[in-house]
Structure formats: structure tokens, C-alpha cells
Structure 1
Amino acid sequence: MSQYYVLIPKHLSLEQRLSKFPPDFKLSVDYCYYFISDIIKESCKKDTEEYGSFESVINHFIPRCSEINQSIYRNSKQNINYLYRDFGGEGRMLWKRNYKPGGCYAYHLPKYYWGDGELEMYCITDKTFARKIIKINAPQIDNTVRKRFDFTRGYFDVSRFELDAESALNELYMDYLQTGDYNKYLLNAQRVIDFKNGCFNFYNKPETDGRLHTAITSFSKLCRKYLKYDSENLAEVDLSSSIPFFLSYILSIPTISRETKAGILCTQLCSQDILYHYMIVESLVKPSDREVADFRELVLNNELYEYFKDSFMNLPNFESSFEMMFNRQFDGDEDDLRKYTKNKFLAMLFAHPKYYIKEQAVFYNHFPKIYELTKKFKRVKFEGVLPSERHKRLSYLLFQLESYFMVHTIAREINNTFKRKIPFFTLHDCLVVKESDLDQVYELMHKIFIREIGYVPNMTQKIWR
């Protein structure tokens, strides 16, 4: 690539400043916009509010080392000083906090230049400078990805993707106007730009969630319809209620002997420590076959959240909780109620036992032993793990199972069976393929689940458009 894209505020006009106050040196517009975009990108990382308001995000000074600036662009000092200079009637385009021992100069873009907060894409066309930036911002790839899932990386070819970035950015801004969460807008807008630049990161932490995190998994759902591959729409095969499904799966493995069940799970889980503790807890709290069968039937029929929705709606905190989740009052819409129930159920399942007490009581009333098992597992002691962090092991357990089936087994088999002729992207509990490959991949996934576990989760198909 000989171009590189950055985010800048729509209200920002460096050209106006240059026309009024032309510099007495050769200023690089590309470098100035890159420097400002770097400050903008780092601003969201400084914000600590749960829902980052516009003001809370833009009011940070971002440290930037002068030596690093100069390594990126030799004449950086003159360019930055021009932006900092206070021209009469124009003011400063950058505020600067002076150097302190142990710290660098720090910079801040004044609120005026942010305008109403809307961001746009700017293309750096200086080929030499663009190549240097691309090298500096090279994708991050965990070694565990290279070792375990390297076969997934080849499909991330920027020349085969088509992204309508302008429409995607506009969609994100419209969403920000609804939610007021500027930090989320800024993060997702930067991900759009990273995708446009072909900066495809890959992360995998086998001992925690075990999931494969990519540019697709972090790409905003709102923007998916603006993404194509080989000029085709992308489409997904999604496992409905995937987390409850893998919970029902692990509970349903026949316990002819503890060693046999542990042997099966040993090949599927990355963390043997998590497996060891799970087997201990299951030996102490074993749900009845009937309870497990009832839970699994609800999951396989995609009826789990419908089963709980009336009970959750009748809880005393429902109205305020719903309004907090959706930023509006409940109007009786059944789809909204299902989304609410799903979010609450999964939050309860993964949260520390001291939270979601009322929702836990509902779960206990319907599935007492499954509830006791999950609660006990979230409290079990792990060496070197703080008590406040123990509950996370339940999510790690289920996410590792999800990753084993979706990436290690299904994605790998598709890659080998079709000899890399069917591009695919994993999205946690989804497999994303071209629309023309959707039916073929769906059928193969069905066969793999039958072969591996003897039954199939509820799977849905959706085209990104």
C-alpha cells in the first residue's frame, strides 16, 4: 500500500490556517494530520468513564516524545510548533503541556477544532511517509496465533476486502448521537480506519478465554453491511445461545467415569487448571440427568430466553433496568424483551455471585443444581487468582470450548476440506463466509457437530447487508 488513512475532526481545517498564515518553511500537511489523528486515537484510551461523554474524551493531554516524533518525520518540530503557534484571530491548533522530568511534552486538540465531534477519513498520499507509518503501525500478532491458528490469517487480504468506510463512519456517528457514548464512537471509528489500512491484528490467550480475536471480531456490528469480500456480501452461520449450549454440552457428557469425561475435555480445553477444578466441583454438585436434559432441550430449541423472560420481566427492578440498557422505556416489544433477557442471563452467569441476586434466584428456582454448580465453580480457589477474579473462570471454561469447536475443529476442517478455496473468518460463535459459500458451509458445520458430539446446536444464517 502507498496510501494510509487517518481520522481527523470534520471541523478541522488546516488549509484555512495555511492560507491565512503561510509558514516560512515546507510544512507537511500529511504529517500534521497524522500527528493530530494520533492524539485523537490515544484520547479514548485515557478516558475512564463507563459511557465516555464527548467532554470526558477530548480533554486529555497526550504525551508525545520529541525523539519519536522526529524518527517518524524529520521536520516534526517545526510542523508541531506551527500548530502550537498563537496566530491573532486564529488561536492555537494545539495546546502543549511543557516537558517535566520523567515525562514528555503532551498535546491537546482544543474543543473548538473537534466541532460537534464528527470524524472523517483523511488519506496520506506522500508515499515515503505512508510507508514509514505503515511500518510503525504494523499489525500485532500473538505468537500463540502463529502456533495454533496460523491457517486463519491468510484470508485477511486487504486487496480482497471492499469497505465503504465513509458510510460506516456516518453510521457510527448517527449511533453516537443516539447513545451519547463518544468513547465507543471513537474506538469503532478507529477500527474502521485500521481495517481500511489493512492493519489486521490477531490476539489469542489460551489460558483465559481461548478465543481468536481479529479485525473481524472487533469490527462494529453496525458497519458489517458496508464490508464485502471478492465483491460479495459476507454472511454468517451463528450458533444460537452458544454459551448456554456449551454449558449444556459439558453437563451432558456421559460420566461413565470421571477419568473418561476428563479425558474428553482434556483435548478440548487449553487450561488444564480450569479442567481440574471443574471436575472437582462437578463431583460435589452433580445436576440430575432430568435437569440437564430439560436445560439442553430449551437451548437446542432456541427457547431458553423465552423460558426466562416472563420471570425476568416480573422482577421489581425490571423497568429501570430495561431503561438503563436501552435508553428508553419498555413498550411491550417481545424482541426487546428477549434481548433484555439474554443480556441479563449471560451477565448473571458470568458475574461475581454477589451481583444479579434476583436473577440468580430465578435461575435457581428453575434449575437449582445447575445454578449451584456454576456458583460453586465461580467461587473455587485458584492458585494465584484473587478472590475478586475467580468468577471469570466460568466464562474462560465455556469460551475455550467454543474456540475448540469453532476454530480448532470447524474452521480448520473447512480450510483443509476445500483446500483454501472457501475464505472464512471466525467471529467467536459465528463463522463468516462469502454469501455464495453459505449453504455449503452450513451443511458441513452440521455434519461436524453430529460427528463430534452426536447432535447439533440451533444454527441460523444471516447475510451482512
Structure 2
Amino acid sequence: MRIYIPENLDIFELTHNNPPTFKPYKLDKLCYILNLINAIPLMDKDIQGEDFIPINAKKLQDKIQNYKQYLDYLELDLKIIESDNHYVVGEKSKGYRLIEKYRTPVKPFQVVDFTFRKKLKVEKNCKQESVKHLDFATKWFNDKLQIDYDYVNAFLREEHLLKMQDRSLWEYDRIRKKQKHPTNQMIHAQMSAQRLKCKDYNLMLDDNVYRLHTNLTNMPSRIRNAITYDGQKLYSLDIKNSQPYISTVLLSRDFWIEQKNEPNTPNALSISFREPQSRKSLSFNKLNDINNKILNISHIKIHSNDNYIMLGEIPQSLIDNEFQHYIDLVVSGKLYEFLEQAFQKELCIHLKDRKEVKAAVFQVLFTANQFKGQVEAAPKRVFEKMFKEVYDVFAKIKSKDKTLLPRLLQSIESHLMINVIAKRIAEEYPNAPIYTIHDSITTTEEYVDAVEQIMIEELSKAIGHPPKIAREVWCKSNMVKHLETLKKKTKAVA
């Protein structure tokens, strides 16, 4: 069982010179806590920009009963970690970080204690069980999947050096409204590369939106360029503007009319635009007339807590001109350009790049309805003005829970990419390596055309409109270009 600790940390010498005064004590457990500080952000990108990483006390206690003594030993005696000393019961766990000296790339550490290994193995087995039925998508994590680890290490160190020399190169976290620290980014990237190099595969299907999380989904896209399969280059096929694209299916009445007798959908979310008594009046023929090719809510597996949400009555026909305008812009790939012009006209602001426009669209999709009144919600109000009926549908879905819309979109994405597209690829091209990375699929050059065609066919049938697919080859030249771009920006500022 392998965990990871800072590469410049001699934990044996430190603990020998300043031994613990409490029992029971195991070095493996001490290192496991250090591992968590770097490992937790890999599974939760939302906290990668945090200075202090929240560690759930209850989950930690399940593995280390006297965890508080270990934390105090690390913080007060060994002085390896620091705490923000801030927690809110039921809301926020206390945060920890390594002291600056140990914010470095990591090295593997073998857990040898039999009892503790057994506890960690139970957790790993649970993850493996969650993907047991997805062998067609997970079996490609094997010895043929290689990463040029030395090249990645050299790349990350040079990237880090450039950013530390010029703060204007630091990436901006639009959610937390602060810059991302290059050291944290380097550590997370290097750790993800280290795990792939060591064949330490971390595969899990979450039980919230049923996304497949793997070593590739947890890895920064820029270092995926150093990965090959059986010596072959890999090609990624991404759905352009995937969230707005998938959202168009929510504007179809057929999507929301629950189909009865759908097999294998015990946790399907059932949402209706009509009151229950009105839906009962739908004739048998009317239900049978629904185009079975279009994705239906009955096909989507949603967390059981959302087993039934009532949206109420939509006052106008679900398909109208306002919807069509939005759909046309999304399908043509022009939504972001349209909104950029609208923001400039209505708000007299010019967004710097496509990322900022995308962030504004995500604000519309993912923030609570009540947020609309805030000063910074101006883009949300502009979207409502441009697409009133579309906004109303999205707002209705989020009326009781602001997270329902993004979770619904992600669940639809997971269903289509894994259960429909990846499964069909596996059946028709059993020798095609396939890796799903949320809204994209990666394969080798031999199969890239066939995979793209299947993606277009299945998405067109399910959503009702053909997607725009972006094809990109993973190669080291992309990493070289990235560094050259950073150098040019530095010279431009100078």
C-alpha cells in the first residue's frame, strides 16, 4: 500500500530526534495524515486553490482513533504542518497545510503496518467495487499506459520557476476570487504524475452525479501531454461548450415526461412540468408517441435524495422562439460570442477571454436564484434579459436546491459518456483503448475517427442536436508551447 509524503522530508530522522510521547503510535499513520494534505485536493478540484486543506475529523477518526494526538505531534512538536484553527460544526472542517519548507513534490512511502494496511485496503476495495461494472472503461488502466515522469518533473519545475518570478503569470480562481499559488499547483500535478507512474490507479464512481474519477480526470490537462498508450499518441475528443449543450435537452418537454416501465432505473429522478393529476390524463398513445431516441429523465440515475422534484406548470409551450434562439446559438458554438457582445453592450464591460465568458455562463447555471440580486451577478441578469424563458426553466429546477441543475447536467453527461458512448465503442471496437474524462473521450489515432463518429451519432440522438467536437492530440510539443507562451508573457510585461 503506497502513500505520498514530501520528497525532502526525512520522517525517520525527525521522529527519531523528537519521538512521540503518546500511545498507540504508528509511523504509517503519521505519514498518512501528511499524505492527505496533498491527496485530498486531487479528488476535489474545488479546494485546490485553498491555502489550508480541510480534513474531515470523523473520516480521519475511522482510520486513526487518536488522530488529534497525531495532528498535535505534527504541528506542535515536529512543526511539519500548520493549522488555520478554524472550523464550523457541520459546515467546515479544520484546515491544515505543510509548512513552506515541505511544500515540495512528493515521494512514495510504503505502509507496512498490517492492521493499518487492512483499513486502507477496505477503502480501496470500496472504490474498486464502485467501478466493477465499468470494466469496459477501466481495463485500459494497465501497464501500457505510460507517462514520461522525468519530462513532466522538469516541465513542472520550469513552469513553477517562471510563475514564481512573475506573479502576473499566476492563474486566477474565479470562484474564490484569488490567485492560485504555483507551488500548490506544482505539487498536485507532480503527485498525479507520480501515482500514474507507480501504477497506483485511483478509480472511483461517485454516488452523487455518477462521474467516473480516474488518474486522468484528477490530472492537470497540460501534463497529460506526456502520456502514451502502448507507445502510441493519444487523442482527446471534447464536447465543446458541454454544459450549455447538454442543457438544451432540458428545454424539451419530452425529456421531462416520465416514461413508465423503464428497466434498471430504481433511483431515476422524476421531474414533471405538469401537476401529477394532469399527467395522469395523458393518453396512452400520447406517451407512446414520444421519440424514444431522445434522452428521457427516466434514463438518468440521480442521487436518491432527489427522487422527486415538482417543477409545476410552465405557462407557455416548452418549445418556443426564445428557446430556439438559445439552442441555435449553443449548437452553432456561438453562445459565448453572443453573450460577450451582450455583456459589453449592457454592462459596458469587456471580458478578457473566453474563460471569463465561460465563468459568467457557469454563474447563470450554478449559482442560487437569490444570487441574482447581488452586484456581481450582473451577467446573470443580462442572461435572463436575453433568454427569459430559458432562465425561468433553469431557475425553476434550482428553486429548492441550487445544486440540482449542475448535478443534473453532470449526471446526464456521465450517463451519455459512460453508459452510452463508451459502452458502444467497447462493443463495436473491443481493441480500442478508451478513457473518459467527464465530457471527453480519449483514444489512440487508429480509433479516433470511429470514436468521434459514435460520439456525434449518440449525442445527436440523445440531445436532439449534433455536438461540436474538438480534437486534440496529446504530445510534448503542447507542453513546450505552454512554456514558450509563459516566457513571452513575462517579456511582454517586462
Q: Would you say 1:394 and 2:405 are equivalent positions? A: yes
Structure 1 contact 236–430 (Cα < 8 Å) conserved: yes
Instruction: Name the structure 1 match of 2:261.
Output: none
CA 1:122–1:93 in 2, change beyond 3 Å: closer, same or farther?
Answer: farther
Q: Would you say 1:141 and 2:127 are equivalent positions? A: yes
Structure 2 contact 366–402 (Cα < 8 Å) conserved: yes
Deviation, structure 1 residue 451:
4.8
Deviation, structure 1 residue 192:
2.7
Instruction: Name the structure 2 match of 1:277.
Output: 309
The answer for unaligned runs of 5 or more in structure 1 is: 24-30, 70-79, 85-90, 98-107, 323-329, 331-335, 380-386
Give the counterpart of 1:462 among 472, 475, 480.
472
1:248-267 aligned within 5 A: 248-252=248-252, 259=287, 265-267=296-298
Instruction: Name the structure 2 match of 1:234.
Output: 234
CA 1:285–1:291 in 2, change beyond 3 Å: closer, same or farther?
Answer: same
Instruction: Name the structure 2 match of 1:342.
Output: 358
Instruction: Name the structure 2 match of 1:222.
Output: 222
Give TM-score, length-normalised by structure 1.
0.68
CA 1:407–1:50 in 2, change beyond 3 Å: closer, same or farther?
Answer: closer
Instruction: Name the structure 2 match of 1:102.
Output: none
Deviation, structure 1 residue 297:
1.4
Deviation, structure 1 residue 363:
0.9
Give the counterpart of 1:290 among 321, 346, 351.
321
Structure 1 contact 402–429 (Cα < 8 Å) conserved: yes
Instruction: Name the structure 2 match of 1:121.
Output: 107
**Larger deviation, residues 173-182 vs 212-221:** 173-182
Deviation, structure 1 residue 144:
4.5
CA 1:318–1:50 in 2, change beyond 3 Å: closer, same or farther?
Answer: farther
CA distance in 2, matches of 1:399, 1:239: 13
Structure 1 contact 285–373 (Cα < 8 Å) conserved: no
Instruction: Name the structure 1 match of 2:451.
Output: 441
Instruction: Name the structure 2 match of 1:413.
Output: 424
| Equivalent AA in structure 1 for residue 140 of structure 2 | Y
Q: Deviations over 1:279-316 (max 9, x none)?
A: x4464565442222221111111111011012334565
Deviation, structure 1 residue 162:
1.0
Q: Would you say 1:213 and 2:213 are equivalent positions? A: yes
CA 1:262–1:347 in 2, change beyond 3 Å: closer, same or farther?
Answer: farther
Deviation, structure 1 residue 426:
0.9
| Equivalent AA in structure 2 for residue 464 of structure 1 | W
CA 1:250–1:282 in 2, change beyond 3 Å: closer, same or farther?
Answer: farther
Instruction: Name the structure 2 match of 1:326.
Output: none
Q: Deviations over 1:350-390 (max 9, x none)?
A: 111122531121112211101111112210xxxxxxx5xx0
Structure 1 contact 348–355 (Cα < 8 Å) conserved: no
CA 1:274–1:50 in 2, change beyond 3 Å: closer, same or farther?
Answer: same
Percentage identity across paired residues of the two chains:
19
Q: Would you say 1:151 and 2:152 are equivalent positions? A: no
1:55-74 aligned within 5 A: 56=52
CA 1:236–1:273 in 2, change beyond 3 Å: closer, same or farther?
Answer: same
The answer for unaligned runs of 5 or more in structure 2 is: 19-25, 84-95, 165-169, 171-179, 258-281, 476-494
CA 1:49–1:455 in 2, change beyond 3 Å: closer, same or farther?
Answer: closer
CA 1:374–1:190 in 2, change beyond 3 Å: closer, same or farther?
Answer: same
Structure 2 contact 48–184 (Cα < 8 Å) conserved: no
Deviation, structure 1 residue 118:
2.7
1:172-211 aligned within 5 A: 172=156, 174-175=159-160, 177=164, 178=170, 179-180=180-181, 182-205=183-206, 208-211=208-211
Give the counterpart of 2:371 among 351, 355, 372.
355
CA 1:367–1:116 in 2, change beyond 3 Å: closer, same or farther?
Answer: same
CA distance in 2, matches of 1:93, 1:400: 43
Deviation, structure 1 residue 343:
1.6
Give TM-score, length-normalised by structure 2.
0.64
Deviation, structure 1 residue 204:
2.8
